[in-house]
Amino acid sequence: MNWRARLLALDGMMPALDDTGRLAWGTLADAPDDAELVFLGLDEGKACFAAVPPHGDSRPRMANPALWSLMAALSPEDLALYGGARSLVDWHARHRFCAACGGDTRIAKGGWQRDCPAEQGGCEAQHFPRTDPVTIMLVEHGGKLMLGRGLGWPEGRFSALAGFVEPGESIEEAVAREVLEESGVRVRDVSYVASQPWPFPSQLMIGCHSHADDDVLTIDETEMAEVRWFTRAEVQAALAGEEGAAFTAPPPHAIAHHLLHWWIGA
Amino acid sequence: MNWRARLLALDGMMPALDDTGRLAWGTLADAPDDAELVFLGLDEGKACFAAVPPHGDSRPRMANPALWSLMAALSPEDLALYGGARSLVDWHARHRFCAACGGDTRIAKGGWQRDCPAEQGGCEAQHFPRTDPVTIMLVEHGGKLMLGRGLGWPEGRFSALAGFVEPGESIEEAVAREVLEESGVRVRDVSYVASQPWPFPSQLMIGCHSHADDDVLTIDETEMAEVRWFTRAEVQAALAGEEGAAFTAPPPHAIAHHLLHWWIGA
């Protein structure tokens, strides 16, 4: 037992908080004897770990209102730490078997790898936590901004369109394909703005800006409930949370919020 | 049988070429009856497919000289098409089992998904092809550029440092961590330059530029054989393939080549 180590307190996949609203920590003694431990890094000379829970959670964040409000309450540092830990332990919980041969795998390299060991009859494949690149993009035309409301989202909540980068695509190609698929609009002059990790389950959000040649929308109704163009004043009012704003803006800890602010200031 | 469909000719994971040096195509009749087919898209009204080979290939490209020279010979369009197809069929070949329960999976959604079917006793998990974001970065100090030679690379071949984005990191954080780990140098002002898919096995290369505060190198000898600073004239000579150049530049189809050109022109 290393007394200089500490264990992130998790209830399933949910973080526990202390009296001050910070992430709660225990010691390695709090983990079951057979727990798989993921090394999260050093903090003030102490090694920080998280234990892999019995089950992961691949749902989008929208499906978990308790987590939604908890994320809004965490400090940026705690949010980043919890996010990274959540992505890792979730991946382990949902990848206990070898995708190459079906055998049992075991945790390796402090939780940054899983091995399919030969001595258990495995195929010796190595597996690594995945991070899925997702483009999220502002589309501008004639001074207005295209935003969408996904199927199942609350009435009035709009955000930037987004979608996974597919094998064989550049970031710029992924932006153009996603916008065309979801809105029917062709974009040009795609530029990078900012990036952010998003742990639901483990995405790298790549924020971009682009220009559209026209504003005629043909919406993909299998994905989007609404896609609309908003004026600068409407985006400003939504970000300010004004009563009667044209839409509800994404929350401050989402990269879409940052992108909208960037657009207002640009 | 759809006569308007065509099948990418593959020998294992290697492409076959026709007399004109283009990718060779056959018909769906060329695939075994039980072949898993991946839909690659439409080309001139014909549906294009590739069949999943018995085995994938997770080696880096450096380990396959035949592929290296073949890639240099393919047109940009064929290279993009082969790259996307290679990433997809390789993923299927190395993910036949469910990582969540160990059961057999089957191909779904035209090859853009694998399912663990309930009627075979599976857990109903869905699996998606992975794309791994990798940062590759120019590091500049006092007008010089930092380049490295990885362990096992040919003598004299240098390229930009690179590394996987880890769960919980932004692109900018990944750049700073990788450069610090591999060279001991701290960077600031990370900016995005360009991106490119890289199908070995399925990476999204994210090219960045950054500035270093000092030029004192502390090399990670478990990853790098050499890390050095090169002048603008040295980079220029290497890109031009001049005899006696200070190093051998990365080949034109690699994003590192594009990044070096960008730096020379900037």
Query: DSSP labels for A208-255?
Result: EEEEES-------TTTEEEEEEE-HHHHHHHHTT-TT-SSBPPPTTSH
- Note the maximum CA span of chain A: 65
| pLDDT 10s digits, A160-210 | 999 999 999 999 999 999 999 999 999 999 999 999 999 989 999 999 999
Tell me what pLDDT residue A62 has: 64
With a cut of 60, say whether residue A69 has pLDDT above it.
yes
- According to DSSP, the residues that pair with B162 across neighbouring strands are B136
Minimum distance, in Å, between the CA of residue B235 and any CA atom of chain A = 25
B/e letters for B92-103, b = 16+ CB within 10 Å, e = fewer, are bbbbbbbbbbbb
Contacts of B168 in chain A (CB under 8 A): 80-81, 83-85, 87-88, 197, 199
Ramachandran sector of residue A94 (left: φ over 0; alpha: ψ -120 to 50; beta: rest) = alpha
Measured in angstroms, the CA of A199 and the nearest CA of chain B are apart by 7
CA–CA gap between residue B22 and residue A153 (Å, rounded): 47
pLDDT tens digits, B84-129: 999 999 999 999 999 999 999 999 999 999 999 999 899 999 999 9
* pLDDT bracket for residue B64 (50, 70, 90): confident
Mean pLDDT of chain B: 93
Please tell me the predicted confidence (pLDDT) of residue B209: 98
Least confident of A136-145, A182-191, B40-49, B103-112: B40-49
Considering only the beta carbons, identify the residue of B167, B197, B204 that sits closest to A129: B167
Whether the Cβ atoms of residue B227 and residue B217 lie closer than 8 Å to each other: yes
Q: How confident is the model at residue B3 (pLDDT cuts 50, 70, 90)?
A: low
Out of A96, A100, A170, whose CB is closest to B196? Answer: A170
Residue % of chain A over a pLDDT of 90: 82
Structure tokens at A208: 């971009």
Q: For the residues A127-146, what does the mean pLDDT come to?
A: 97
Whether A169 and chain B come into contact, CB under 8 Å, resolves to: yes
Name A258's Cβ contacts closer than 8 Å, sequence gap at least 6: A194, A196, A207
Sequence-distant (≥ 6) Cβ neighbours of residue B253 within 8 angstroms = B71, B72, B76, B79
User: Which domains does chain B possess?
Assistant: 5-83 (no CATH), 95-129 (no CATH), 132-265 (3.90.79.10)
pLDDT mean across residues, chain A? 93
Over residues A103-125, the pLDDT tens digits come to 999 999 999 999 999 998 999 99
The whole-number average pLDDT for the span B223-252 is: 97
Reply yes or no on whether the pLDDT at A2 is more than 60. no
CB B27, CB B12: distance < 8 Å: no
The pTM for the full model equals 0.94
- Residues of A numbered 91-130 whose beta carbons fall under 8 angstroms of chain B's beta carbons: which are they? 91, 94-104, 112, 125, 127-130
In terms of pLDDT, which residue wins out, B59 or A29?
Answer: A29
Residue B244 has pLDDT above 70, yes or no: yes
Answer whether A100 sits within 8 Å of B103, measured CB to CB. Answer: no
Q: What's the confidence (pLDDT) of residue A1?
A: 47
Cβ distance A100 to B97 less than 8 Å, yes or no, reads yes
**What per-residue string of b and e applies to A164-180 under the rule 16 or more CB within 10 Å gives b?**
bbbbbbbbbbbbbbbbe
Whether the per-residue pLDDT at A64 is higher than 90: the answer is no
pLDDT(A243) > 50: yes
Whether A131 and B132 lie within 8 Å, measured CB to CB: yes
Inspect the interface and report whether the beta carbons of A132 and B127 lie closer than 8 Å. no
Out of A98, A165, A197, the one facing B170 most closely (by C-beta) is: A197
Range in A198-207, B3-12, B235-244 the model is least confident about = B3-12
d(CA B254, CA B162): 12
In this predicted structure, what is the pLDDT of residue B4?
78
Query: Residue range A6-28: average pLDDT?
Result: 93
Average pLDDT of span A134-156: 97
DSSP string of B38-103, one letter each residue: EEEEEETTEEEEEEPPSS---S-GGG-HHHHHHHHHS-HHHHHHHHHHHHHHHHHHT--B-TTT--
Examine the pLDDT at B56 and tell me if it is beyond 90: no
> Cα–Cα distance between B266 and B264 in angstroms, integer?
6
Distance of alpha carbon A168 from alpha carbon A170, whole angstroms: 7
Q: How many CB atoms lie within 10 A of CB B6?
A: 19
Q: Which residues of A touch B81 (CB under 8 A)?
A: 168
- Which pLDDT score, from 0 to 100, does residue A43 have? 84
Q: Categorize the per-residue pLDDT at B1 as very low, low, confident or very high, splitting at 50, 70 and 90.
A: very low
- Whether B129 and A166 lie within 8 Å, measured CB to CB: yes
* Most distant CA atoms of chain B, gap in Å: 65
Considering only the beta carbons, identify the residue of A99, A129, A199 that sits closest to B94: A99
C-alpha separations of A70 from A66, A74, A82, A154 in Å = 6, 6, 11, 19
Contact B130 A125 (CB under 8 A): no
The pLDDT score that the predictor gives to residue A68 is 80
Query: What pLDDT score does B2 carry?
Result: 55
Task: Give the minimum alpha-carbon distance from B239 to chain A in angstroms, rounded to a whole number.
Answer: 23
Query: What is the percent of chain B where pLDDT is above 70?
Result: 97
B166–A100: do the CB atoms touch at under 8 Å? no
Task: Specify the pLDDT at position B69.
Answer: 82
The answer to whether A98 and A121 are in contact (CB under 8 A) is no
pLDDT digits (tens, 9 = 90+) for B192-226: 999 999 998 999 999 999 999 999 999 999 999 99
- Residues of B (5-24) whose Cβ lies below 8 Å from A: none
Q: Which amino acid is at A252?
A: P
* Chain A: closest CA distance from residue B191 (Å): 9
Interior/surface letters A1-13, b for 16+ CB within 10 angstroms, e for the rest: eeeebbbbbbeeb
